[in-house]
Structure 1
Amino acid sequence: MTITDPTPAPATNTYEWDPTPTLTVTVYGLAGPQGSKTPVGWGRSRKTGKAIPLMRESSKKVKPWREEVTARIQEALLRGDARPIAGPVRAEITFTLPKPTSAPKRRRTYPAVSPDIDKLERSTYDAITAAKAWEDDGRVIENHNRKVYPGEHPDALPEPGAIIRLYTLPGATR
């Protein structure tokens, strides 16, 4: 029988990210979670001709959110405030969600509720891809995303939206 030490080894292999983001964008609006689908009927496959279910996004917030993120990033690229990213990316996104009216007013609360952070990330990454800030979200090799309420975190916006920061590795291309 072998007894192993449950303490994880210290991280020795960290990336040397550029400390200044290659792209920083602030987007206002309700972030739409992407991923849950609702069946809306049946159609035919173009390849096989077989009947297939037709699906659409469950959240009506996804399309306006993606359009807003895409527009803000395209503006930053056109102004020259940012450039398209070709290599590995670290994405850091702070989503500011509307604080429920039933939440306590005098103490900090945490948005440990829907929408799921991975679904918010998915819709935002797809919008970044549509804006051509990167070739594909497969470029992301490290990320840190958070959900906060207004005024309850240093990166929290005064109203719903997100701060998107994308970092690169100096000298890395793939």
Structure 2
Amino acid sequence: MSTVAFHVPGTPAPQGSKIRTRYGMREASQRVKPWRDVVTQRAAVSAGEEHILGPLEPPYTVELWFYILKPRTTRATHPVAPTIGDLDKLTRAVGDALTKSGLIVDDRFIVRLVAEKQWAGSDGPGVLIRVTEVTS
């Protein structure tokens, strides 16, 4: 059973909401593509550091801890503002990035997902990711 864990610094961006344009559909958030690219790159680097040749063997457990930068003027105890993004949309961006990086075969093989979001501490915003192969 292999496990790969790594931290991706940066501002997490939600994926999922679409905007119709005259050229077709595009992501509503312009931040999602750069965020997915950073996660993809960090996942590939982490796989190399762990000497993993090719994707992990499916199925997978994925654990995600999102750290969101706290605004100066909020009294909220948790990151729930509309501008932050839904937890399911934040996880969607990470799942696609893990697939694109080659760390996992496809995000449809994620059989257990644990995710939470909280205010960032001194380490700043980002996401801590742990992917584990599930054994029978």
- In percent, how many aligned pairs have the same letter? 33
Residue 124 of structure 1, aligned match among 70, 87, 94: 94
Which residue matches 1:138? Answer: 108
Which residue matches 1:166? Answer: 131
Return the structure number with greater relative CO, CA threshold 8 A, min gap 6: 2
Which residue matches 1:97? Answer: 68
**Alpha-carbon distance in structure 1 between the residues aligned to 2:52 and 2:126:** 20
- Which of the two has greater helix per residue? 2
**1:76: Cα distance to partner?**
1.2
Amino acid at match of 1:30: T
Which residue matches 1:68? Answer: 38
Which residue matches 1:113? Answer: 81
Which residue matches 1:10? Answer: none
- State the TM-score, normalizing by the size of structure 2: 0.89
- State the TM-score, normalizing by the size of structure 1: 0.70
Which residue matches 1:33? Answer: 14
Change (3 A) 1:125 1:142: same
**Alpha-carbon distance in structure 2 between the residues aligned to 1:69 and 1:31:** 9
The answer for unaligned runs of 5 or more in structure 2 is: none
- Which of the two has greater strand per residue? 2
**Alpha-carbon distance in structure 1 between the residues aligned to 2:50 and 2:30:** 32
**1:95: Cα distance to partner?**
0.6
**Alpha-carbon distance in structure 1 between the residues aligned to 2:51 and 2:78:** 33
| Bigger radius of gyration | 1
RMSD: 1.9
Change (3 A) 1:27 1:81: farther
